[in-house]
Chains A and B, each alone.
Chain A
Amino acid sequence: MTIKEQRLHEALQHYYGFRTFRPGQLEIIQRVLAGRSVLGLLSTGSGKSVTYQLPAQLLPGITLVVSPLISLMVDQVQRLRMRGKFSAVYLNSSLEPAETRRLLSEVEQGRYKLVYISPEKLQQPNIQQLLARRGVSLVAVDEAHCISQWGHDFRTDYLRLPEIVQKLGNPPVLAVTATATEEVQREIARLFHIHQEDIVSQSLNRGNIAYDIIAVTDEAEKREKIIEAVAKLHGPGIVYCRTRQAVEQFVATCQLAGLDKVEGYHGGMSAMDRVLIQEQFLRDELSVIVATNAFGMGIDKPNIRYVLHYHFPGSIEEYTQEVGRIGRDGQPGYAALYFAIEDLAIHQHLSQAEYPEPAVIELFVASLRAKTGLKLAYPEIAAGLDLPETQTELLLFYAEQAGLIARSDRPPYGVQVNSGFPADAANRIGQRIERARQAKRTKLTQMVNWLQQKGCYRQALAAYFGSTDDLGYDLYCCSSCGLQRIDYEQDVSRLTAALPETNWNLHEALRMLLPVELYNRGGHHH
């Protein structure tokens, strides 16, 4: 081991308490510290965050972490602070303006090594200037596949990142993702000027996960089978549904069946309930979470034993991410998907909500045309159109691409509506959106193809991501190759171990929570 490697191991031990790096981590970190831009392809659960958190402690300036999900950002920073060795902060739209100003001035004073930021916050020129002044040593782009227009999770703000990196003085970029096809990898590398030899790719194969695809004919059969599986399987586990309604119904069914340690989780719940349920699950007080895809991003729970899919996801990438939460401790785990072709209707419905109809595009362009030459703040642009926010974002992005509007660099960061609209503007935007919609549909088709093929599911998955060298597995491979679910089962008692109604004692209950006497007896050490 070289001295440099020695030092990195010491740092790993100091900050995380680990002795060794996971595959790929060291290679990535060394390149990043040498000032190279890197694309890191690491399978889910293989410790992507270490690859930028550790360099952040060793580099002189700020490490900027661009992350698409507010909840993920908040969660990571919160947990870093819990560990107490990192000075991290996040900046996103959930903060109040006064708070943002305060945090920014602390960033400027150099209080933080790690700055998590949402891509839309990073669009603001004043923030860019502040960061450039302070000095950015590394830009880590988490979930880097979001930059691909043909990927499964395109985010318009991501496409502007290469330009912003330039404005920050061209620090090296570390793009990380667990779900990128070869095509998307090439696109990321091109956009961030990453050399072929700096693509560090770990096998995306998860040998400890067995894939079980179970065909069902109707809802009743599906529900019955999943209930049975939940009752028998060794937890903790997650059941993924595509809609909130399905989550609630399935939880109710479980509870009626006497499975008490099952709870639902979705975006419609109050923020506090979501935190409580998540914490109960992390502390093994719950066995099963029934959730929409809102659950699991950035959750660090190593002992998840199974993931069941009530509905199939919209793409193989999403599927990989969701089942990837199984067995991060390396122990064998079980992934079952209950496949009913009728569930396509749900995806159709979701897609309709995501992309604006041609008539809506016409209206949008007409309303822009009426405002030619004006400067508009964001709320004014889509006023009166009553569009969902994602649709507005998408329309604005394509309108900018088509040259209809320009973003202004100075507060209040609205847009300038250009004059001289091409007559076919709406048409052009419509075509672009149609292409995006098509790309999404292709993803969905590929997902269904994977489910309907009869060969080895592991091999087909690897082929999709373009790396079939590693097809190893430990317990079972998949339902095509043959598996025995019984090996992932246990007896029912743990699930129905309902809390006994113990004798209630207010005095004691409060003192458990707030042990003031104990504290005072302990004296004031520090």
Chain B
Amino acid sequence: MSNPILHEREFMKTLLLNGLLPLEKQRTVQSLYYILRGRKGNQTVQDVYLFRLHPYYRLFPKFSREYWEEIIASLKAQRLLQLEADDRAKTKPTFLLTAAGKQFLREGVEQYQLDNWLEPIRRVAANEQLQSQWLKLHLLVQTVSQLLHRDIAFYPVVQQRSIQQWVKEQLGVPSERERWMNELVGELELLLQAFPERLQQLVVRQFSGAGQTGSTLPQLARQWQEPPSFLWVKLLHCLAVMAERIQAEQGENFPLLHRLFTADQRTSRQLSDSAAHTWRLLRQNLSIAEIARQRRLSPNTVEDHLVEIALLYPDWDISPYISDREQREIQTLSSRLQTRRLRLLKNHLQDKYSYLQIRLALARQKGAVYDD
């Protein structure tokens, strides 16, 4: 029997190298860790947008430090990844994928068909939402199952109060409860039919209900001899495809599930709380210095917020800070030098622009990721 733990590690190496590739020479290795955990900070949110790492954002919210370190260490030991000794040693070292690393990545991406799995997740770009939709669906199916079996004494699989509350609201009104009981099964079948059998099983066998205790992902992984993390990616893939289809066909075919998969624009592209506060003040025409004073923040922090806003709101006019012509100058240089490292750009432009100006220009650059 092949060793399932090794298999899991091999998959993670490919998955992480794939996420690291766009960050090569631009950021530290750790920055991907923060993305995977879904850190809410400015820098992380910006990196996700700049490097188009949406499928990776909050992909593993509980990713442990130890596991991360272990995989990175083994990538280094195998010489797939190397840190870039920084010339001026002022900033933290960036990294690059070695030729062997790129070869390994190409083969892995091919083997696991990684792009196919990630593509819908990239389009939906809302892992946090998908994960909470999954919990809602899970609890909803369990509750409806118990109702249909006329056995309402059960132990809810999902303990999060907010999710329980949501399900309660859905099933609270008798006429609505009737609808869920009668129509959920049909909507689910229609939705899942479109998937290959394995994926149908991946979703349905995790459900709990009367007479069935759901399997955990690791249990399914073991039975099918697949890496658990890979199954998790596949599950998110399914959820993303489901969310897209439900939104496209909503009222017609999935009137009930549509309630569950409604895209909440506020969570799918959410400013951090602090940036949102700055955004409100900005719209009252306060200057950076005024906002900083009023909020007792350093101007640097407020500038971080501006960059975040520029990324999340493409319509926001940044010309008061940097003219269109100046933006283009910075963007062209960045493309030519194949870098987004601020200090490098600033030097090349002989300090003509501030960091804020460069960052705003980069935030608005089209095609933010460089292909290798």
Is B135 in contact with chain A by the CB < 8 A criterion?
yes
User: Could you give 7 example pairs across A and B, Cβ below 8 Å?
Assistant: A255-B222, A263-B216, A276-B215, A279-B208, A499-B223, A509-B205, A519-B148
* B211 close to A (CB within 8 Å): yes
Q: Which residues of A contact B165 (CB under 8 A)?
A: 99
Interface 9-residue window, one of B92-100, B187-195, B248-256: B187-195
**Are B159 and A515 in contact, CB atoms less than 8 angstroms apart?**
no
Residues of B within 8 A of A510 (CB): 185, 188-189, 192, 204
12 new A-B contacts at CB < 8 Å, known A99-B161, A272-B135, A513-B210: A252-B5, A255-B222, A263-B216, A273-B216, A275-B159, A276-B157, A279-B155, A504-B197, A506-B204, A513-B185, A514-B188, A522-B150
Q: Are A270 and B62 in contact (CB under 8 A)?
A: yes
B227 touches A (CB below 8 Å): no
A513 in contact with B154 given A506-B189, A507-B189 (CB within 8 Å):
no
Q: B207 to A285, Cβ gap below 8 A? A: no
Interface of A is mostly: helix
Which of B1, B161, B213 makes the CB contact (< 8 A) with A283?
Answer: B213
Q: Which of A230-283 contact B (CB under 8 A)?
A: 252, 255-256, 260, 263, 268, 270-273, 275-277, 279-280, 283
Name the segment of A74-82, A133-141, A169-177, A304-312 touching the other chain.
A74-82
When C-beta atoms are compared, the residue in chain A nearest to B153 turns out to be A82
Q: Which 6 A-B pairs have the closest CB atoms?
A: A82-B153, A514-B185, A513-B209, A519-B148, A273-B216, A279-B213
Which of A502-526 touch B at CB < 8 Å? 504, 506-507, 509-516, 518-520, 522
Q: Mark B103-127, 1 if CB is under 8 A from A, else 0.
A: 0000000000000000000000000
Q: Is the CB of A285 within 8 A of B201?
A: no
User: Across the two chains, which residue of chain A brings its CB closest to B223?
Assistant: A499
| A271 CB, nearest partner CB in chain B, Å | 5
Interface string of A84-115 (1 = CB under 8 A from B): 10000000001110010000000000000000
| Minimal beta-carbon separation of A386 from chain B (angstroms) | 15
Stretch at the interface among B138-146, B281-289, B315-323: B138-146
**A83 in the interface, Cβ–Cβ < 8 Å?**
yes
**Distance between Cα atoms of A256 and B2 in the complex (Å):** 9
Assess the A272–B155 pair: CB atoms within 8 A.
no
Distance of A499 Cα from B141 Cα, bound (Å): 23
Taking a contact as CB atoms under 8 Å apart, the answer to whether B161 and A280 are in contact is: no
A392 to chain B minimum Cβ distance, whole angstroms, is: 21
Give the residues in chain A near B209, CB-CB below 8 Å: 513-514
User: Is the CB–CB distance between B185 and A511 below 8 Å?
Assistant: yes
- Footprint of B on A, CB under 8 Å? 74, 78-79, 81-84, 94-96, 99, 252, 255-256, 260, 263, 268, 270-273, 275-277, 279-280, 283, 285, 498-499, 501, 504, 506-507, 509-516, 518-520, 522
Known contacts A509-B204, A510-B189; decide if A519 and B216 are in contact (CB<8 Å).
no
Interface centre among A255, A280, A506, A515 (most CB of B within 10 A): A506
Do A275 and B161 contact each other (CB < 8 Å), given the known contacts A512-B211, A515-B148, A516-B185?
Answer: no
Residues of B contacting A516 in the complex (Cβ-Cβ under 8 angstroms): 148, 181-182, 185
Contacts of B135 in A (CB 8 A): 272
Q: Please give the distance in Å from A92's CB to the nearest CB on chain B.
A: 11
- How far is it, in angstroms, between the C-alpha of A91 and the C-alpha of B229 when the chains are bound? 36
Check A271 against B160 for contact (C-beta < 8 Å).
Answer: yes
Q: Which residues on the A side are within 8 Å of B200 (C-beta)? A: 504, 506, 509
Which single residue of chain B is at the shortest CB-CB distance from A517?
Answer: B185
| CA–CA, A79 and B1, complex, Å | 41
Contact pick for A82, options B150, B155, B193, B207, CB 8 Å: B155
B185 touching A275 by the CB < 8 A rule?
Answer: no
Residue contact A514 to B184, C-beta cutoff 8 Å: yes
> How many angstroms between the C-alpha atoms of A277 and B145 in the bound complex?
19
| Interface of chain B residues 158 through 184 with chain A (CB within 8 A) | 158-162, 165, 181-182, 184
Across-interface contacts of B223 in A (CB, < 8 A): 498-499, 501
